[in-house]
Structure 1
Amino acid sequence: MTKFDELGLSEHLLKAVAENGYDAPTPIQQKAIPLVLDGRDLMGLAQTGTGKTAAFGLPLIERLLAEPQKPTAKGTRALILAPTRELVNQIAKNLISFLKTTPLRVTSVVGGVSINGQIKRLSRGTDILVATPGRLLDLVDRKAVDLGSASYLVLDEADQMLDLGFIHALRRIASLVAKERQTLLFSATMPKQINELAQSYLTDPARVEVSPAGRTADKIRQAVHFMDAKAKTGFLVDVLAGQPDDMSLVFCRTKHGAERLMRKLSQAGIAAGSIHGNKSQNQRDRAIKELRAGDINVLVATDVAARGIDIPGVSHVYNFELPEVAEAYVHRIGRTARAGADGDAIALCAPEEIGLFRQIEKLIGIDIAVASGEVPPMSAAKSAKRGKNGKSGGSGRPRFNKAAGAGDNDNGRRFSKNRRRRPQSRKTAA
């Protein structure tokens, strides 16, 4: 078995790795760390929960320590971009844990909190800046940060950033960092736009792929219950009430639906909280902290939480509503079975969602076990969408564009099928 001391890391970092409880490197770490240390541009493909932060973070820290220079005022030596506030905070926390006895500084900037404090922290410069694209460009426009000295650029969860409409922001940011740089791109899936992004930003990149796109963690037990949409809430209340000591995540499609479900669970005596795009960053952080501390044992979330939440104790993930995009299912259920543990992923599928369910099975390449109910025919999905006089029926909600989190952008906009989607404002994104 490969060990961290075989990957080319210094004794100082090896000690930090051991103190953080890391035993053996994951496959993505084994393959990526030596390549990054060699200065190669890299495209890394790996499912969520495989240790990507350490895969780019450890060699990045190693290279920065080997170049003993201080960041310029308002400048940064390395820039890491991630799509959500939760993921930015998680990356920063992990990096800081490796830097306790070094002079390197890590600064994170996200939307939803005061920009003035971020401007003040950036005024003296930082070695590593972790940011969401929207808030970063707000700071650039205010001349609070200079990206010209950033000789390292990391795009984490690049596929989700494209889903959330950050492509124009990414292009602008890439034009502001140093032309002579090392660029690392990590993604769980490989849509066409990711290939185009790699061609534009990476130079002769090494490609590392440790699991097929869409593959779910081996230790996740998956099951589906088929039922009418109106029966879902009562079913979920009964299940959660029967396992009061378990830590669970429940996913909904929209922020309004998530908040409504959380209130119904609370009214039923279940200790529940919620996180979604209408919550401030402090509210989102507090809900996650309460889940970790055991003050609540159920967190209802939209896809804003499908990536970026790393809570090892989550034993169950419930898809109360199936996602519009099959890849989002993989990221949702990846919140359980982390750090070597196992977990359960339970989907609640209404007749009108059977099409989405079949897309999920096709993506992950397995037949999900049926725990209860009868499998509805594919025609049920079509008939549920049509009401009297051929008008849209079912839930009565507008159709969303097919992008992960499309109903839950942080700017709070919703899009109907008759309205062209406008680019997300960078002043309110993430």
Structure 2
Amino acid sequence: MKTLRGTTFNSFNLDYRILKAVKLLGWKKPTLIQEKFIPLALQGKDIVSRARTGSGKTAAFSIPIIQKILEEKQSSGIQCIRAVVLAPSRELAKQLCDHINSLCQFLTPEIQCVDLVIAEHAVAQRFSLNSNPDIVVSTPSRLLAQLKQNNLSLRETLKYFVVDEADLVLSYGYESEMTEIISYLPNNYQAFLTSATMNENVKLLKKLTLHNAVILKIEEAQLPAADQLTQYHIRLKLFLNTFGITVVILNSELPLNSRCHIVQQFNSGLYDTIIASDEISVESPEERKQSGTIIKLEKKESTASRGIDFNQISNVINFDFPKTVEEYIHRVGRTARAWNQGTALSFSTKREAKFVSRVKKALAKQYEGEFLKPYRINMEELDGFRYRCLDALRASTTLAVKEARLKEIREEVLKSTKLKSYFVENPRDLQLIRHDRIFKRNRSLKHLKHVPEYIVPKSLRGVPVKSVQNDDDDYSVEHEEKDHLKSSDRITKPSLLQRKRKAYRERCAAKREADPLESFKYYFICALNTGLRVYNTDPFMEVIHLDEATAGSVKLCCLLQRSNIVALVCNGPNGKFSENSVVIWDDKKRKFILEIECPSEVVAVRMSAANLIIVLLSEVHVYTFPGQPNLIASFDTRDNPKGICSMNSDPEVEYFAFPGHRIGTLLLLNLKQLTQSESTSPLSIKAHSSDIACISLNNAANLVATASEKGTLIRIFNVQKKMKILEFRRGSDPALIYSIKFSLDSSFLCTTSDKGTIHIFSVKDPNLNQRSTLQKVGISGAYAESQWALAKFAVGSKYPCYCCFGKESTVIAVCMDGSYYKLGYDDSGTCTQLEYEFFLGITEDTNFWASYKEE
């Protein structure tokens, strides 16, 4: 993709924060479509653009919209919905929103972009629109539903209307929806249509939405140049199967959350290979006509070839050769995007020869000579795989495919949030699904997953191969000790063989049962109505999972840092234990190992390497732990229904903090000095004049931070000296503080409240914090001299949010709507969104507890 000499993003006179985001994204210069599109859009022109997949169309319309919204807000200051971006599929809508947010990362919270699709429930969609975000991304059907319910109004505020992948919008059956949507729009607005191809559907949409539009046809090659994209063609005669290589499958039959999660897992590098399907169903049109099946329009979404941006794809393999030139262009366009290199390998049969000829003829003008090169293979080098391929083919029976598909369906049914209410009313159905017969595990093909060196082609020997464990197998690679057993041993000494096999299985089991969190520093644990989850934050992934059948409804939970031990308290009609009991789960043994009954309701639980602390309404009980718990000491407290308390994470110096009897008093208990024979009185600090709402000890337990129920001030005390050393002002309005956390080295402190904003303060160097403008003009006093946050970030969620620090100047925030944020900050006060996940359905929210541990 060539650009004019000297053209840069700076030449567009964009806001410096947009240019900063562009630079962070690694875009050195605009692509051809961006170079032509952005100036016209900034002039207020309606535009219809056609450019190939991967050419930068999304940024081409996003950048001018963000720039113009900034200019309008600076002049009017009104917060309203100014832009709507429509996409034909839900996956593409989510990706568009993420892309726009990446361009707005230095503009938060001034510019807000909301994806209506990611919120499956109507309540969540309504909440996301309450703040009047500047940009709304949606599919036509989802947007129309919100318009009909009067959850948003566009007639007075809309300035920009975008239809991305416009050629697909009408082909997916959205014609009636688009006509209705336009009736809700004002008479005057700027509109953009973008597409990789120009067809009748685009022309029809142009008539519906645009006025005196500029037609922008980028005369560039439909695919990258030959030196950027290498394409091969191979005639397929055998069906190839996988040999112990983990892949993830993506197709339109999967639920939206599953599809989005799959794309995120692939883009984050969890999987190296993704198998994607363009087809919705293998059923032919004639079969649909005979069966009378009606396909819902909102399900008509392609998932592989169109729109979705898979990160850094090096190779595209067309197992089924595309039937049209457009489909080939979109599939192959997944790789060699922007200025990256890529390879496309296509299989074809004799029946597909006409499709190959069609593609060659259509793209012949772009490439000189033979661009679809035959892929040469030395079959002699692959001769060792002949029998392995035959074994794999024999194992891939129709029954095996059917059972695997049934297993997938059963898992999706159990995960479905929409069916939870049904299963509550019909527990027998849930039990039948859960206890359905276990699919037969194929133990006879384990040898296929281990490829001996002598079979590997000479040209590939020495190339490292990632070895992974299969979830359905106890182990994936046979130990060489088995191969070295003498044949005489196998016949005459079966007991010796059995002992060796048993020893090998025990060694494998020991590896599998290693501490699941041993290598993780940063994690959080969630108590849910449907069980319990533990997530690692970097990389973001689930590491412990207890479902409702095992744990029931969980009210409280606590993880013994980076271990397999979890303490939990159940509640509700589905609770497996009394809410007056604390039960201990060993995830290594996959069973409950201990239950402690208490005289009243448990409101908080904390664990350390030596103690288990149970907080009741007005009491604190300290037990020895692990092992058989023995009560060491008990303390009376002020009524503490929210279970406000804190424990530091350094095993060398263990302190526990909790509210005292007197209003605003904080008690600190030195657990190292606490024994059964010697009672230790807690340290007492008068922290506030009103009740304490939140407490946080730092890692070394020499500092403690508190907030009162007013929520305006955060105070930090020296534990040993029992004196206040710092005071931060969160805001001037009262607020409910949800969480306070120190960074691991205690240099910074973060806090969250019901105002929906994360505040970050500098503890080590208070001069970095912002000061009131009143002080700058010479006004003195406590308020004017207050230290305000170094940096802050507004999360999109209206639900309670909890925060903690990650590594390398990052903050992790988890909201009770199931959203996850990873933020980056620096000493200058810049705070940017680095990652965003939606890991739980809105119906699963209960309690969240965030914690971390340093090596």
TM bucket normalised to smaller: 0.7 to 0.9
Question: Residues 81 and 155 of structure 1 are in contact (CA less than 8 Å); yes or no, is this contact kept in structure 2?
Answer: yes
Distance in 2 (CA, whole Å) between partners of 1:125 and 1:325 is: 42
Aligned match of 1:306: 305
Q: Which residue does 1:35 correspond to in 2? A: 40
Matched, 1:126 2:133: yes
Q: Could you report, residue by residue, the CA deviation over 1:356-408 in whole angstroms, capped at 9, with x for unpaired residues?
A: 222322333355222269xxxxxxxxxxxxxxxxxxxxxxxxxxxxxxxxxxx
Conserved in 1, the CA contact under 8 Å of 2:93 and 2:115? yes
Which SS does the other structure have where 1:169 is aligned?
Answer: helix
Alignment match, 1:24? 29
- Flag the 1:133–1:324 CA change in 2: closer, same or farther, 3 A: farther
Distance in structure 2 (CA, Å) of the matches to 1:5 and 1:340 = 20
- Structure 2 counterpart SS, 1:184: strand
- Aligned partner letter, 2:249: S
In the alignment, which residue of structure 2 is the partner of 1:116? 123
Q: Distance in 1 between matches of 2:134 and 2:37?
A: 21
Cα distance in 2 for residues equivalent to 1:163 and 1:326: 17
Q: Is residue 226 from structure 1 mapped to residue 235 from structure 2 by the alignment?
A: yes
Match of 1:78 in 2: 83
| Cα distance, 1:178 vs structure 2 | 1.7
Taking the aligned partners of 2:205 and 2:310, their CA distance within structure 1 comes to 31
Cα offsets for 1:255-286 (capped at 9, x unmatched):
xxxxxxxxxx4xx3121111111112221122
Identify the residue that residue 193 of structure 2 maps to in structure 1.
185
Q: Which moved more, 1:319-328 or 1:345-354?
A: 319-328
TM-score if structure 2 supplies the norm length?
0.38
Q: Distance in 1 between matches of 2:171 and 2:356?
A: 20
Identify the residue that residue 286 of structure 1 maps to in structure 2.
261
2:15 maps to what in 1?
10
| Residue 291 of structure 1, CA deviation | 1.7
Q: 1:66 aligns with which of 68, 71, 74?
A: 71
**Structure 1 position 346 matched with structure 2 position 353:** no
For these two proteins, the number of residue pairs brought into alignment is: 335
Q: 1:311: Cα distance to partner? A: 3.1
Which residue of 2 is the match for residue 357 of structure 1? 356
One-letter identity of the residue aligned with 1:225: I
SS class of match (1:66): helix
- C-alpha distance 285-216 of structure 1, shift in aligned 2 (>3 A): same
Q: Distance in 2 between matches of 1:167 and 1:363?
A: 30
Native 8 Å contact 2:56 2:338 kept in 1: no
CA distance in 1 between partners of 2:131 and 2:186 (Å) = 19
Change (3 A) 1:176 1:363: farther
- Separation in 2 of the partners of 1:318 and 1:112? 33
Deviation at 1:111, TM superposition (A): 6.8
Provide the rounded CA distance (Å) in 1 between the counterparts of 2:313 and 2:345: 13
Structure 2: distance between partners of 1:54 and 1:191: 23
**Which deviates the most, 311-320 or 196-205?**
196-205
> Residue 154 of structure 2: SS of its match in structure 1?
coil
User: 1:87 and 1:61 mapped to 2: Cα distance?
Assistant: 19
Superposed CA deviations along residues 211-258 of structure 1, whole A, max 9, x for unmatched, are: 35x711222211221224xx2x31xx4xxxxxxxxxxxxxxxxxxxxx
Higher helix share: 1
- Following superposition, the deviation at residue 59 of structure 1 comes to 0.6
1:370 is matched with 374
Q: 1:292 to 1:358 in 2, by over 3 A?
A: same
Aligned counterpart for 2:153 among listed residues 146, 154, 165: 146
Cα 1:325–1:348, aligned 2, differ >3 Å: closer, same or farther?
Answer: same
Aligned partner of 2:648 in structure 1 is: none
Provide the residue aligned with 2:574 in structure 1: none
* C-alpha contact 2:320 2:347 (8 A) present in aligned 1: yes
Equivalent residue, structure 2, for 1:252: none
Per the alignment, residue 164 of structure 2 pairs with 156
Q: Is the 8 A contact 1:312 1:337 kept in 2?
A: no
Structure 2 portions without partners, runs of 5+: 1-5, 279-302, 378-855
- Percent identity (aligned): 31
Q: Is contact 1:8-1:34 (8 Å) kept? A: no
Indicate which of 75, 94, 104 corresponds to 1:99.
104
**Does structure 2 retain, via aligned residues, the 8 Å contact 1:224–1:372?**
no
On the 8 A contact 2:82/2:159 being kept in 1, the answer is: yes
Partners of 2:34 and 2:56 within 8 A in 1: yes
Provide the alpha-carbon RMSD of the alignment: 2.1
**Which of 1 and 2 has greater Rg?**
2
Give the 3-state SS of the residue equivalent to 1:189 in structure 2: coil
